[in-house]
Amino acid sequence: MLVYHLPGTLDTREAHLDLLWEAGATGLEERAGTIRAYFEIRADLPAEIADGEWRLEADQDWLAEFKANLKPVTAGRVTIVPPWLTGEVPTGQLPLIIEPGMAFGTGHHATTRMAVEALSAVPLDGHSVLDVGTGSGVLAIAAVLLGARTALGVDIDPQTIPIARENAQINGVPDGRAAFVEGTLGSDLPEHAAPDGVYDVLVANLYAELHDLLAGEYAAHIIPGGPLILTGILAGKLSMVQAALEREDFTDVTVRMDGEWALVTARAPQ
Ligand code: SAM
């Protein structure tokens, strides 16, 4: 197997990825700060991507290996599985099928798991849910499977929207119950439209600095006393989120930790 090792990540070398495809790469993968580009034959590469190194490696079907190592993830009343593991959902659990791919949210990250657990623990029947930073759509879809009347997933990354819609479809979520749009909350990000309205429940798996920035928007988009579920918060940044919620008059703040990650729940100001 011929692999071209290019220093950097899929983010930092985003502008160069097309050059790798154009040169004949059959697959790209990121591992520990290096992009691995798979080739069938050695190619002449343009100067922008000439800082890498060609290596001949033992053959391995990395996609098959990745798939073989995936396990179902149980979070509250939901078990998240890729499409080929639906048979492994324990009896009584709600299956949530997510095709592992480009969007964050397969259930294998502690933050996603804690957010689904938190959704399982709040009354959702007949409620509306706003999922900020929807990624694969996993939290919005979980909310509908758990009984929410509607869920709206928003994300600033346009690539996530068709993926989230497809995941909703795979899970048999009717069109009117889950919607996904490119967008966010907050006037500091004016290029993205803010979704209108007020929701019964708001969930957001982002990061602490963004929760701090958006705390006022969260308060404005949840019914008085409605639940707020926040994660994506590293332990060291937890106090920033707690201070933001206090500033915006949220009440009943609770914290759960899983390793270095925190999940915070609160109730919107009355
Ligand atoms: N909700 C999924 C989950 O829990 O697994 C995905 C969470 S992933 C950690 C964060 C997502 O938020 C990414 O898809 C990213 O594009 C999106 N995002 C980042 N900043 C955002 C913002 N300001 N507004 C909305 N979405 C944002």
Measured in Å, residue 167 CA sits from the centre of ligand 1 at 16
Q: Which of 111, 49, 106 is nearest to 79 (CA)?
A: 106
CA 3 to ligand 1 center in whole angstroms: 31
Domains delineated in the chain: 2-68 (3.30.70.1170), 71-267 (3.40.50.150)
Residue 183 Cα, ligand 1 centroid: separation in angstroms?
A: 10
Nearest CA to ligand 1 atom 14: 135
Q: Look at residue 197 in the predicted model and tell me its pLDDT.
A: 86
Burial class of residue 152 in the structure, from the number of CB atoms within 10 Å of its CB (0-12 exposed, 13-18 middle, 19+ buried): buried
Question: Quick one: pLDDT at residue 65?
Answer: 72
Query: Is 51:7 a contact under the CB 8 Å cutoff?
Result: yes
- Residues of the chain below pLDDT 50: 190
Pocket of ligand 1 (CB under 6 A): 104-105, 111-112, 115, 132-135, 138-139, 154-157, 160, 184, 189, 205-206, 210, 232
pLDDT at 188: 54
Please report the pLDDT score of residue 11 as a whole number.
85
Model pLDDT, residue 193: 58
- The sign of the CA dihedral 237, 13, 193, 118 is negative
Q: Which atom of ligand 1 is nearest to the CA of 153?
A: 1
For the record, the structure tokens of 87 come out as 């048979």
Quote the pTM value. Answer: 0.79
Give the residue, by CA position, lying nearest to ligand 1 atom 6: 135
Q: Whose CA is nearest to atom 3 of ligand 1?
A: 105
